[in-house]
Structure 1
Amino acid sequence: MKFKQINLWLFCVAMMPFWAMAQTKSAYNELQVFDHSFFTYNGNEFRSANGASGPKYWQNKADYVINAELVEKDTLIKGNVSINYTNNSQDTLNYLWLQLDQNLFKPDSRGAASTPVSGDRFDAKGYTKGGYDIGVVSVTYMGKNYVIKPTITDTRMQLRLPFVVKPHGDLINIKVNYSFYVPHYGADRMGRLGVKQGVIYQLAQWYPRMCVYDDVNGWDTLPYIGTGEFYCEYGNYDYFITAPADMIVAGSGDLQNPQQVLTAEQNRRLATAAKSDSSIHIITEAEVGTAAIRPKHEGTLTWHYKMHNTRDVSWSASKAFIWDAAKVNLPGGKKGLANAVYPVESRGYDRYGRAAQYLKNSIEFYSKNYFEYPWHSAFVVAGVALGMEYPGIVFCSYQIKQDDLWHDITHEMGHNWFPMIVGSNERRFMWMDEGMNTFINGYASNWFNHGEYGDTSSMAVRMTRSLMHEKDPLMTAPEVMHDGGQYYYKTALALNILRNVVLGADRFDYAFNMYIKRWAYKHPLPQDFFRTMNDAAGEDLNWFWKEWFYTTWKLDQAVTDVKYNKNDPASGAIITIENLGEMALPITLKVTEQNSKTQLINLPVEVWQKGAKWKLKCNTTSKITSVIADPDRQLPDIDRSNNSFKLPE
């Protein structure tokens, strides 16, 4: 054994120079990075080359009227949905496709079958009564009613029509009767939670809804497996929730009948909250469970909500809710209302006692800096879901507190911009909602309450280790991705580097906001984002998009040599830098001289267009003591040992 160990040690020592050479040999190929064939198609009449929607861009529309009842004794939702569907496409439709996301919880669903034995965050196993029970399905077209036998495949339902829906604005109405049992833990999207004073129901994916028909894939019928989220058409929602009379129902949109479902005192307090920047108690801890807080004590009440130009709605119900609210100030002068509902277990200043303020400040920040919040109210609901977003309502864990609660609320509310306003396809391109949202969340956190929950450490340094072990590029489908965290943090890091290193804040912010403005309430592709940023910033960034989103390339910048002109420091120095990894980025050098003079040299990415090595002249007046690449640690350099070149004084 000892002999083998010694020989192994000698072999390792002998090989060390070769390993060192291998470590310094560049993996960089400029022909791969600066590849002008990046885009696979030209702009067209639907999606322009500049990244905007084209003159013939179309989008179908789905307007919903939903009546649903929460039958608490059976933990059952039963109801019916009426959908007015407008075919604005250029295509004739022989059939329609609807999403049946609750079918994820059927025992034989694809999602249940593909859940690991050990379970995971989006666990869909173990339900014996899960999924939709679909009743009568009918359509009305050209004044005639037809009963349709649906074809259901996992989480999709096809309606094969005895006629065709014509292009360019033809209208059809679909009616579906349905019911489903509410799962305890609905794949971290929804569910029910028992607390001291009742049960909190968080209801999402709670009605059959239209699949998207677009100019890219036709019907987008990817099944709902659990990881990949949602892709929905925009439309107007008019919905009615019948629940036990002792419950409060918090929903997306505007409550239409507060006089019928709230007490006079609660309506008075809401009016006060609508004028108050401080949080107002609508229902206090002491009032929860008392008869005085409900206008009716037995039977049921029906809550009526409306929400316009949205891609979804969701709601929550419980008799255990404490309720706080505060005014939201929007940049256009409109006022809104931020609401927080939570059980007594979540009370307290360091917990949900500040939740309405977290929500209010998040809405105000994103409205001021990116796009004004288009609706009037929003809810944060404490319950079983760890963190999930829907238009105008977000679900967060009832257990979290302090900075974790702030980050959860501002992240989930930030999703109202990506993808609720900018309607990307979450089921295919997860980075377009999670990553862009994580990017804006960082700025919101550094702003809130003078940086109370901000983070000034280097995101690049924190991310480097995970990037070194990254297996899949960001364009990987959600169910295939080995590390879903990359969607969040690698995307956010990429956008921060693009803003702060490549373009500068002014050019980036202008182009990024142009993207939001162009694609609000529409369905952008990744290429629409890339093209808009290129065009509005005035920069060919295809090299950047390729390396950050389509590859797992690594960055390794190095300072490899310093020589003086004529061996005289007063004549300046020639500094040699090398790009050893596959990725290219601009490089910043901090040069320090013996006389304490320092200078920053910023070199653009173009220095790497001719190869992996670059020499530059640096004007000096005394000997150089050190040259450091990326001195502020803004870049995810995988080997910082070669970033510094120190010279003897």
Structure 2
Amino acid sequence: MHHRRRPAHLFPIAFLCLAATPALAQYQPRETFAPRPPAQAVNAYRSADGLPGPQYWQNKADYQIHATLQPDQPAISGDEVITYTNNSPDRLTELWLQLDQNIYKTDSRSGYANGKAREGTTDGFVLDSVAIGGGKAAPVSYTVSDTRLRIALPMPLAAKGGQVKLHIRYHFAIPGEWGGRMGWGKAKAGPVYEIAQWYPRMAVYDDIRGWDTLPYLAQEFYLDYGNFDYWVTAPSTMLVAGSGELANPQEVLTSEQQSRLKKARASDKTVTIRSVPEIDDPKSRPKKDGTLTWHYRMQNSRDVVFAASVAFAWDAARINLPGGKSALAMSFYPAESQGSERWGRSTEYLKDAVERFSARWYPYPWPVAVNIAGPDDLAGMEYPGLLFDGIGDKTKDLFWVTAHEIGHTWFPMVVGFDERRDAWMDEGFNTFIDVYESDDFNHGEYAPKRDVEYAPSGGNPVDEIIEVLKDRDAPPILSRADTVIEKYRHPVTYFKSALGLVLLREQILGPERFDAAFRQFTAAWAFKHPKPDDFFRAMESSTGEDLSWWWRGWYDHNWTLDLAIDKIGPATDDKDKDNKDKAPKGTAITVGSHDKLVMPVTLRVDFADGSHRDYRLPAESWIRQASTTVIVEPGKKVVQATLDPDHKIPDGNRGNDKLRADAK
């Protein structure tokens, strides 16, 4: 069991006395603390305080989709109507859509970008028809370019509220487990289909780039928000779990299952909806033959997905949300995943994570949260309100992956980061909030968080990150996501990004200031599209700190930290240094910065009487010179001094962090 230590009592900064010593060669204050003007301009859309401006806008995409799962092929055929609303101040002469299934084509850019051929290929999205119109839709010309679809509009779409309806019929082959983020694989009782990126989706037109048409190279997504109404037709023997709320339970569930669901909505303990023994029982389905159509609705979402299988057991429990509201946590898993060491606790994990994230950061916005046990090769992928995790996941690994994937609800499903460009915000912010969920769950049952995404080797994160900081080839956090190779994806995009927020919260700002600013940022940008500069501005404006030195060292660059105790000696007054009869002025402890990155640090001074005192040195201790001096008053005999005694900051050279007063 692990508990985070409470901060030690810190003595006032008044004890500090700056010493004008010569700058060390490795450290230049004017470089570390140089001005860092934001790259993004302030305007009516994005304010100087990092929050949405008075004229902020974004476009909206509403979807109605009818899809059929054809397991004999396997394939999906679909018919969608997109109602696209142009809230921008610009007339639009064209529309762009994302065709992510085209990543599986033999000539996709992604295949070349990844440097190796895919295990399998498909024909991607096959577009049977593309038309525009409210009543009788008229065919329209279009161009497919890799994973993008461009439609030339016959008439410009008016600004500030113009609307157009797109009608698209399509089909595609479902990839196997090599699909990566979606596909199908086998459980013992039958196939499990995890269906995502399953309909052409609108690209984002925003105030930064206009149409953001980055090709899909396996980084994740950037999508506008809207309302979804969708119907999935599948064999009647299957359970279909989808994003959002089931709108027709009376048509696709037995009366007993409907009754159990009602009970689950009022229960904090997990309620079985379809038991493992019932998986093979024909009575657990409303009819034995043919198909059933499952109707789901989801409001204010950027995407929807679903999973389908004959092999699913199903359980659920109530989620308690702020303000007396509630939602439903549900898990679907095959027989081989049952048991208290496996998926029997999935709904418990899911419920706890949603409740704690909601209380700490922002309320969960949807009526249902679902965890799916599917093929292990497809495991660990998040979508709005629904997660794809692994049949083989168990104990702490199942807890960690569940908390992490549902944590993506907040980043980037609610706070709509552009994952294709800024994956560090998506993965790093989410990994950051996971850290505290691991501490909190069941009195720290699975704490501290030490999975592959945070402290990959299981050690202290501030020690493990040093290897990343010292790696000359490691990319900075603020790199285009597509350029970060797999070797550095977890160490930088997840681990370093998350640790940067932990350090900002616990060592630089303190939880009180950080949490208030972070919550304000999250609420202000809920269901909107913030960019990196919006976050940097918001944190500075709300907390009252110029953090340019931190953004530069940790985010713009891969700088390292080396703070050191350079000297312990008698304190002297320069004016009286030749007057040997003067009374002693106390003890001077000199702390230097030997590398480009700086951070606040705790200096612990041990005294001969067995007591100690902690001094808190701010980052500005090194804003003018390479070292600062702490003066201990006369009458306190110093035995030794130690930097970072609780091992909280990533100092790359621990050998110079401790010095005895009698050391020569």
TM-score tier after normalising by the smaller chain length: over 0.9
Task: Calculate the TM-score normalised by the size of structure 2.
Answer: 0.91
Residue in 2 that maps onto 1:282 = 273
Residue in 1 that maps onto 2:246 = 255
Residue in 2 that maps onto 1:18 = none
Post-superposition offset of 1:391: 0.5
Q: How many angstroms apart in 2 are the aligned matches of 1:366 and 1:37?
A: 33
- In structure 1, the residue corresponding to 2:483 is in which secondary structure? coil
Structure 2 residue aligned with 1:167, among 156, 159, 164? 159
Q: How many angstroms apart in 1 are the aligned matches of 2:115 and 2:650?
A: 32
Structure 2 residue aligned with 1:223, among 209, 215, 218? 215
Residue type at the aligned position of 2:130:
V
TM-superposition CA deviations, 1:355-382 (whole Å, max 9, x none): 0111000100011011001111111001
Structure 2 residue aligned with 1:478, among 477, 481, 487? 481
Cα gap change, 1:114 to 1:40, in 2 (>3 Å): closer
Residue in 2 that maps onto 1:460 = 462
Residue in 1 that maps onto 2:14 = none
TM-superposition CA deviations, 1:337-364 (whole Å, max 9, x none): 1000011121111111100111000100
Q: How many angstroms apart in 2 are the aligned matches of 1:63 and 1:285?
A: 37
Residue type at the aligned position of 1:535:
S
TM-superposition CA deviations, 1:303-329 (whole Å, max 9, x none): 000000000001100000011111100
Q: How many angstroms apart in 2 are the aligned matches of 1:535 and 1:620?
A: 41
Q: Is the 8 A contact 2:566 2:591 kept in 1?
A: yes
Q: How does 1:202-241 map to 2 (within 5 A)?
A: 202-226=194-218, 228-241=219-232
- In structure 2, the residue corresponding to 1:224 is in which secondary structure? coil
Post-superposition offset of 1:631: 1.1
TM-superposition CA deviations, 1:20-75 (whole Å, max 9, x none): xxxx9542222122222421344211100011111111100000000000001110
Cα gap change, 1:55 to 1:565, in 2 (>3 Å): closer
Residue in 1 that maps onto 2:17 = none
Q: How does 1:88-99 map to 2 (within 5 A)?
A: 88-99=87-98
Residue in 1 that maps onto 2:72 = 73
Q: Is the 8 A contact 1:38 1:546 kept in 2?
A: no
Post-superposition offset of 1:187: 4.1
Deviates further, 384-393 or 469-478? 469-478
Residue in 1 that maps onto 2:180 = 188
TM-superposition CA deviations, 1:118-145 (whole Å, max 9, x none): xxxxxx713343411111100116x673
Post-superposition offset of 1:186: 4.9
Q: Is the 8 A contact 2:569 2:661 kept in 1?
A: no
Residue type at the aligned position of 1:207:
Y
Post-superposition offset of 1:116: 3.5
Q: Is the 8 A contact 1:591 1:627 kept in 2?
A: yes
Residue in 1 that maps onto 2:101 = 102
Post-superposition offset of 1:184: 0.7
Q: How many angstroms apart in 1 are the aligned matches of 2:290 and 2:463?
A: 58
Does 2:520 match 1:514? yes
Q: Is the 8 A contact 1:100 1:132 kept in 2?
A: yes
Q: Is the 8 A contact 2:571 2:588 kept in 1?
A: yes
Q: How does 1:224-623 map to 2 (within 5 A)?
A: 224-226=216-218, 228-384=219-375, 385-455=378-448, 458-469=460-471, 471-482=474-485, 483-485=488-490, 486-565=492-571, 571-619=585-633, 621-623=635-637
Post-superposition offset of 1:620: 5.3
Post-superposition offset of 1:113: 2.2
Structure with the larger RCO, 1 or 2 (CA within 8 Å, 6+ apart): 2
Does 2:133 match 1:140? yes
Q: Is the 8 A contact 1:569 1:622 kept in 2?
A: no
TM-superposition CA deviations, 1:536-575 (whole Å, max 9, x none): 1111112211211111111110101000236999742111
Residue type at the aligned position of 1:193:
G
Q: How many angstroms apart in 2 are the aligned matches of 1:268 and 1:557?
A: 63
Cα gap change, 1:37 to 1:422, in 2 (>3 Å): same
- In structure 2, the residue corresponding to 1:288 is in which secondary structure? helix
Cα gap change, 1:311 to 1:596, in 2 (>3 Å): same
Cα gap change, 1:198 to 1:648, in 2 (>3 Å): same
Q: How many angstroms apart in 2 are the aligned matches of 1:463 and 1:332?
A: 39
Does 2:638 match 1:645? no
In the alignment of these two chains, the number of paired residues is: 618
Q: How many angstroms apart in 2 are the aligned matches of 1:619 and 1:510?
A: 37
- In structure 1, the residue corresponding to 2:646 is in which secondary structure? coil
Q: Is the 8 A contact 1:43 1:50 kept in 2?
A: no
TM-superposition CA deviations, 1:292-313 (whole Å, max 9, x none): 1000111100000000000000
- In structure 2, the residue corresponding to 1:78 is in which secondary structure? strand
Q: How many angstroms apart in 1 are the aligned matches of 2:396 and 2:564?
A: 37
TM-superposition CA deviations, 1:617-645 (whole Å, max 9, x none): 12253432211111111111111101111
Q: Is the 8 A contact 1:67 1:241 kept in 2?
A: yes
Post-superposition offset of 1:613: 1.7
TM-superposition CA deviations, 1:393-412 (whole Å, max 9, x none): 00111111110110000000
Q: How many angstroms apart in 2 are the aligned matches of 1:262 and 1:77?
A: 23
Gaps of 5+ in 1: 1-23, 118-123
Q: CA RMSD in A?
A: 1.7
Q: How many angstroms apart in 2 are the aligned matches of 1:378 and 1:262?
A: 19
Deviates further, 448-457 or 228-237? 448-457
Post-superposition offset of 1:594: 1.9
Cα gap change, 1:128 to 1:41, in 2 (>3 Å): closer
Q: How many angstroms apart in 1 are the aligned matches of 2:250 and 2:385?
A: 21
Q: How many angstroms apart in 1 are the aligned matches of 2:112 and 2:500?
A: 35
Q: Is the 8 A contact 1:570 1:622 kept in 2?
A: no
Residue in 1 that maps onto 2:56 = 57
Q: How many angstroms apart in 2 are the aligned matches of 1:359 and 1:588?
A: 37
Q: How many angstroms apart in 1 are the aligned matches of 2:660 and 2:460?
A: 23
* Identity of matched residues, %: 43
Post-superposition offset of 1:596: 1.1
Q: Is the 8 A contact 1:195 1:320 kept in 2?
A: yes
Q: How many angstroms apart in 2 are the aligned matches of 1:288 and 1:620?
A: 78
Q: Is the 8 A contact 1:569 1:623 kept in 2?
A: no
Q: How many angstroms apart in 2 are the aligned matches of 1:360 and 1:324?
A: 12
Task: Calculate the TM-score normalised by the size of structure 1.
Answer: 0.93
Deviates further, 462-471 or 364-373? 462-471
Residue type at the aligned position of 2:461:
M
Residue in 2 that maps onto 1:34 = 33
Residue type at the aligned position of 1:134:
L
Residue in 2 that maps onto 1:8 = none
Gaps of 5+ in 2: 1-22, 450-458, 573-579
